[in-house]
Amino acid sequence: MNIKINQAGLDRLQRKLQEMKKKYPAATKQGMIDTGFAIQKVAKELVRVDTGRLRASISVVWKGGNSQVDPGFADIKAITPPTDEYTVLVGTIVKYAAPQEFGTKFMKGKPYLRPAFIQEVKNLLNNIKRRL
């Protein structure tokens, strides 16, 4: 499966993040975590719900911690936190998450994670500035 996300200005954002990371490392890390939680919130609002398992499993993971998830979703420990201080993962390990996001030959997908990312990544620099 070949997936491309075309987001205007993503390269510029990456360069700006590198600058912010050098000048304000703690604020940059916390702003990225804040943005991860914002993406999680929107994804949980957008995801198709049948039993609620997929929605409950959408998590934010970073080095040194992970988000609060539904207590009934113990499998979240299977997500390995990144080793990079400035990497924040938002996602799920539920097996049917990708078919829900991208669809299959039998059903149309209903994207929830990509739209949440696109909506909230625009606020990343402001989230970092708020932490200064």
Give bridge partners of residue 89 from the DSSP assignment: 61
pLDDT band at 5 (very low <50, low <70, confident <90, very high): low
Question: What does the pLDDT read at residue 2?
Answer: 45
* pLDDT-above-70 percentage for the chain: 81
- Given a cut of 90, is residue 38 above it in pLDDT? yes
Give the global pTM.
0.83
DSSP string covering the chain, please?
-------TTHHHHHHHHHHHHHH-HHHHHHHHHHHHHHHHHHHHHHS--SSSHHHHH-EEEETTEE----TT-GGGGGSPPPSSTT-EEEE---TTHHHHHHB-SSSB----HHHHHHHHGGGHHHHHHHT-
- Given a cut of 70, is residue 43 above it in pLDDT? yes
pLDDT band at 1 (very low <50, low <70, confident <90, very high): very low
Taking the C-alpha atoms of residue 48 and residue 44, their distance in angstroms, rounded to an integer, is 9
Amino acid letter, 39: I
Q: How large is the average pLDDT for residues 34-52?
A: 94
Domain layout of the chain by residue ranges: 26-130
Task: Give the C-alpha distances (Å, rounded to integers) separating 91 from 1, 55, 106, 117.
Answer: 18, 10, 23, 11
**Mean pLDDT for the chain overall:** 84
- Given a cut of 80, is residue 56 above it in pLDDT? yes
Taking the C-alpha atoms of residue 7 and residue 17, their distance in angstroms, rounded to an integer, is 16
